[in-house]
Chains A and B, each alone.
Chain A
Amino acid sequence: MPYERAAPAPNLVPIAFRAGGFLPRRIPFMAGATFAAALGLWWTATSLGWVSDLALPPPAGVLAAFSEMITNGMLVKHMAASLQRLLIGFALGGSFGIAVGFAIGLSSIARSSALPLVSALFPIPKIALLPLFILWLGIGEVSKVATIAFGVFSPMVIATFGGVDSVDRGLIRMAQSFGVPRWTIIRRIVLPGAMPAILSGARISASIAIILLTAAEMIGAQYGIGAMVLASGNLMRTEQLVAGVLVLSALGFSVSQGIGLAEKRLLRWR
């Protein structure tokens, strides 16, 4: 026997597990149940008269307002006006923002000239520019679209050039060492490398765009979800107001889902 087995200790105490928690997971069906509970509370509060219909209309009233707006075509009219402003403003601001972000990320001249300008522009609450744009461009669509585009532009610039800066220099040197042309390096190394940052910038600027859209429509528009919400408030048509707010929530949700989808497709390699 090379060694003696130690005699067992008289009382064995199991060790405690200490590594629990800090790992939140998704519980299936919990989300649906939470929404159902919130709806139930809403329904109970309104049908038992805990809150007046004027302050918070019952779910059935909101539903009725929805169906009225669908049948008389107003929902489509408001949605179409809003979506058009949002899409054009976002596309304009986004593409200019990405272009300027790339320029700042790649050229010393752009970094020294455009970056300070964008940094000065960034903290302005862009809605403050709407009156100016109305003076310049009139009360029509262009001033609203310009406000949204401006609001999207500066966060997009900052996200893009941060993304370009974060691209692995080793990969760029590798490509240069193989004689890969500059434009190909930008297209195949820098752009995909900056894509995660560009997409998260798009997520942030999309929510900014929706805020600006609503605000701009409240300031002066005949059609649009923001205009509809404001008008409903003025007429104390709360059920229509709540319906409008729900539409805005759905709009924001679908935009963020869309970006999530783009992330899944474009960043598959991660």
Chain B
Amino acid sequence: MDLVARNITHAYGGMRVLDDVSLTARGGEIVAVLGPSGCGKSTLLRIMGGLEKPVSGDVFTSGETAPGTLNPLTYVFQDFALVPWLSVTDNVMLPLQHHPMSDTDRRARVSSALARVNLSDFSAAYPKQLSGGMKQRASIARALAVEPAVFLMDEPLSALDAQTRDLLMEDLTRLWTETQFSAIYVTHNIAEAVRLGHSVAVLSRRPGRIREIVKIDMPLAERREGAPELIRARDAIWDLIRAEAAVADREISHAL
């Protein structure tokens, strides 16, 4: 299934946040959306998953979803959004409970999702007993269990320390290699974007506008820190960002 946003414009009380953004997540591909804090990335993601209505523009899906898909557009949140009074198992179970299926099937989905993120041993733990990386893995398991057509990931690694972030990038790469899911992966971190994105949509500062979509052809599983292809992509993106910063500086100096 593809997820298509067309000409999205959004504003909060007169402050323009997104300006005519069009973006497509194609089946089996990760689109990284890269932009500075406050440029409207989370807003765009909320709009694309139906958690917010844009001022103008439309979001569509096209194509069939797999038969096991319970929640086609599924978020992974920066702050994990785990329910503190539910165990890891019950957190993963919560979105399955209202779907008509046998308890055995539900439990099978939960245990396979937990196994995929290596959390089987912590199924009875409460969120407060987990480290940050484990919390995010639990929240990824919750998303995996509903077999999404498109993952909507809002800076899933931003609340984690650098080492944990690297480990989780490897986990995500492995998960994608197992099942080629599609995803919109929002981040402000260039290294994450070039590690996980099949393409990187570079957003301008607020109001967010798409500057360019940089394609990275290297297969995810082969990507390593410092691979020449990734360095080329990173440098290209840096040039875009620098050019924009220079323009912004000129604008400010004119305004002064």
A residues lining the B interface (CB < 8 Å): 170-171, 173-181, 184, 188-189, 192-193, 269-270
A179-B95, A270-B84 known; 13 new pairs, CB 8 Å cut-off, are A170-B79, A174-B77, A175-B94, A176-B51, A177-B49, A177-B50, A178-B94, A178-B146, A188-B94, A192-B83, A269-B84, A269-B85, A269-B86
Q: State whether B51 touches A177 (Cβ < 8 A).
A: yes
> Which of chain A's residues has its CB closest to B96's CB?
A178
Give bound CA distance, A25 to B146, whole Å.
49
Partner of A181, one of B49, B86, B98: B98
Using CB atoms, name the residue of chain B closest to A176. Answer: B51
| B residues in contact with A188, CB < 8 Å | 83, 86, 94
Task: Evaluate contact between B95 and A178: CB separation under 8 angstroms.
Answer: yes
Question: Would you mind naming 24 contact pairs between A and B with Cβ atoms under 8 Å apart?
Answer: A170-B79, A170-B81, A171-B81, A171-B83, A173-B51, A173-B81, A177-B49, A177-B50, A177-B51, A177-B71, A177-B73, A178-B71, A178-B74, A178-B94, A179-B95, A179-B98, A180-B97, A184-B97, A184-B98, A188-B83, A189-B83, A192-B83, A192-B85, A193-B85
Residues of chain B within 8 A of A181, CB atoms compared: 98
Count chain B residues whose beta carbon lies closer than 8 angstroms to a beta carbon of A: 23
Distance, CA A221 to CA B43, complexed state (A): 64
Q: Is B242 interfacial (CB 8 A cutoff)?
A: no
- The smallest beta-carbon distance between A267 and chain B, in angstroms, is 8
Residues of B within 8 A of A176 (CB): 51
Distance from B75 Cβ to chain A, minimum over Cβ atoms (Å): 5
Bound form: Cα–Cα A192–B94 in Å: 14
Closest chain B CB from A173 CB (angstroms): 6
Task: Give the Cβ gap from B81 to chain A, nearest Cβ, in Å.
Answer: 4
* A residues in contact with B126, CB < 8 Å: 269
Pairs A-B, 8 closest by C-beta atoms:
A178-B95, A174-B81, A269-B85, A192-B85, A177-B75, A181-B98, A170-B81, A269-B84
Contact status A180-B81, CB under 8 Å: no
Task: Write the nearest CB–CB distance from B89 to chain A, whole angstroms.
Answer: 14
Question: Across the two chains, which residue of chain B brings its CB closest to A172?
Answer: B81
Tell me how far the C-beta of B224 lies from the nearest C-beta in chain A, rounded to whole angstroms. Answer: 33
List residues of B (150-173) whose CB comes within 8 Å of A's CBs: none
- CB proximity of A264 to chain B, nearest CB, Å: 14
Q: How far is the CA of A181 from the CA of B71 in the complex (A)?
A: 13
Complex contacts, B84 vs chain A, CB 8 Å: 269-270
- B232: Cβ under 8 A from any A Cβ: no
> Residues of A contacting B83 with CB < 8 Å?
171, 188-189, 192
| CA distance in complex: A210, B142 (Å) | 47
Q: From A170, A177, A184, A189, give the contact of B74 (CB < 8 A).
A: A177
Please indicate the chain A residues that have their CB under 8 angstroms from the CB of B146 in the complex.
178
Q: Which of B37-72 contact A (CB under 8 A)?
A: 49-51, 70-71
Chain A residues with Cβ under 8 A from B95's Cβ? 175, 178-180
B128 in the interface, Cβ–Cβ < 8 Å? yes
Taking CB atoms, residues of chain A closer than 8 Å to B75 are: 174, 177
Q: Which one of A173, A180, A269 lies within 8 Å of B94 (CB-CB)?
A: A180
Residues of B within 8 A of A175 (CB): 94-95
Cβ < 8 Å to A, chain B residues 62-116: 70-71, 73-75, 77, 79, 81, 83-86, 94-95, 97-98
Q: Which residues of B contact A184 (CB under 8 A)?
A: 97-98
Do the beta carbons of A180 and B98 come within 8 Å of each other? yes
Per-position binary interface string of chain B over residues 180-210, scored 1 when its CB falls under 8 Å from any chain A CB and 0 otherwise: 0000000000000000000000000000000
Residues of A within 8 A of B49 (CB): 177
Closest chain B residue to A179, Cβ basis: B71
Cα-based distance from A184 to B50 in the complex (angstroms): 20
CB distance from B243 to the nearest CB of A (A): 36
Pick the residue among A170, A179, A180, A192 that contacts B77 (CB under 8 A). Answer: A170
Complex formed: what's the CA distance from A52 to B83 in Å? Answer: 62
Shortest C-beta distance, B33 to chain A (Å), equals: 18
From B49, B71, B79, B94, name the one whose CB has the most chain A CB atoms within 10 angstroms: B94
- Least CB distance from A149 to B in Å reads 30
Q: How far is the CB of A210 from chain B (nearest CB, A)?
A: 30
Measured CB to CB, the closest approach of chain B to A265, in angstroms, equals 12
> Would you give the shortest CB distance from A178 to chain B, in whole angstroms?
4
Whole-angstrom distance from the CB of B142 to the nearest CB of chain A? 8
B146: nearest chain-A partner, CB-CB:
A178
Q: Give the most central of A173, A189, A269, A270: most B CB within 10 Å.
A: A269
B74, B79, B98, B128: the one contacting A269 at CB < 8 Å is B128
Q: Which residue of A lies closest to B95 (CB)?
A: A178
